[in-house]
Amino acid sequence: MDASFSPEELAFRDEVRAFIRDNLPDDLRNKVSQGLELNKDDYRRWMMILGKQGWLATNWPQEHGGPGWTVAQKYIFEEEMAVSACPEIVPFGTRMVGPVLLRYGTEQQRKQHLAGILSGETIWCQGYSEPGAGSDLAALSTSAVKDGDDYIVNGSKIWTTQGHIADWMFALVRTSKEAKKQDGITCLLIDMTSPGVEVRPLIKLDGRHKFNQEFFMDVRVPQANRVGEEGQGWAIAKYLLGHERSNGAGVAGARMMLDLLKKIALDQQADGGALAEDPAFRKKIADLEMQVTTLQFTSLRALAGASADKEIKPEAAAGLKLGMAEIRKSISEACMEAGGYAAMPYNQNAIRFGWNEEPVGPDYLFKMAPDYFEYRARSIAGGSNEVQKNVIAKRVLGL
């Protein structure tokens, strides 16, 4: 396989770099570089800049407002976004709700929601997990009962990424307890400003507010906000979760973390030496370098297959997700080891609201402890490592 990009793709990379250089606000670049928490205005501002350029819904068909990029261009775009300290795109509108509405939504739903998603003005969140339904999503119990032209929704969702800044939620709810568990699930679009919706923050160990728990107490949702038919929610969820992702940002992020580790190892320590002079630590860096390179080529191999209209099989996606979670966890552990005592303290208020004190040691150590906690959690988010291993065992090994 030729893993290199074509001259046209390299020219596209230069175009993306120039756009980011000229359009990314300095205050957003600085907040991302320092690992500070972004607020709703930060995310929306950058998404609207991309939306104006037509670069927000990169996975949408061109006739519906997408840029018409190839799979390789999407990969390059995600990679450049990651290495340039751009804010993450809140993905639920463009990656999830938009494609679902294009496939299953009514004409009225498309008219109401697609324009706001394309422009970056409307922010969405995903209401799937519940306190009693995480990996076993079919066990969800949040109920929706018909009442006139509405549904009355009661229950709770948890671990909702960016729920506190979202304008809308697409949620899976239970409309029947009599059928097979999967057959009693329906998809609803819920206005987060509706009476009876309460959002409570879940502050992570890394100090950032990203997750939330929502409580729904007799929330009225118009039946016109149902996507598809009653009981079709499970099929919609499978379609949504299988939607294409190109992994450019994940590989680029791992490479950036590895570069930071090398920088720490080359810096002089208190005793006048550098960790890079230690053969054992050099071996650790070399091992991590090989793992990152392996993941990069695995991702590019999947990219080449997708470019040739070959299906990316679930076991391949699971392997990439598993490998990415493990390598970033390993690199963050090595960074903590290299940073020593200066990397260990951290202040949650500093992460959330800015650091106003003199840092202990080099300023890049400020992110070490938060990143360490973040990437340990990544082994659970989006499907735990154990779930990914089960997928690989069943689909590849036949166990």
DSSP 8-state class, residue 397: I
What secondary structure, in 3-state letters, does 91-144 show?
Answer: CHHHHHHHHHHHHHCCHHHHHHHHHHHHHCCCCEEEECCECCECCCHHHCCCEE
Catalytic position from the list 244, 311, 358, 386? 244
Close Cβ partners of 23 (under 8 Å, ≥ 6 residues apart): 49, 53
Closest CA to 202 of 157, 159, 142: 159
Closest CA to 56 of 26, 32, 90, 84: 90
Q: Which two tokens stand for residue 261?
A: 């580790």
Asked if 244 is an active-site residue, the reply is yes
List b or e across 145-180, with b for residues whose CB sees 16 or more CB atoms inside 10 angstroms.
eeeeebbbbbbbbbbbbbbbbbbbbbbbbbbeeeee
Give the residue numbers annotated as catalytic, written as ranges.
244
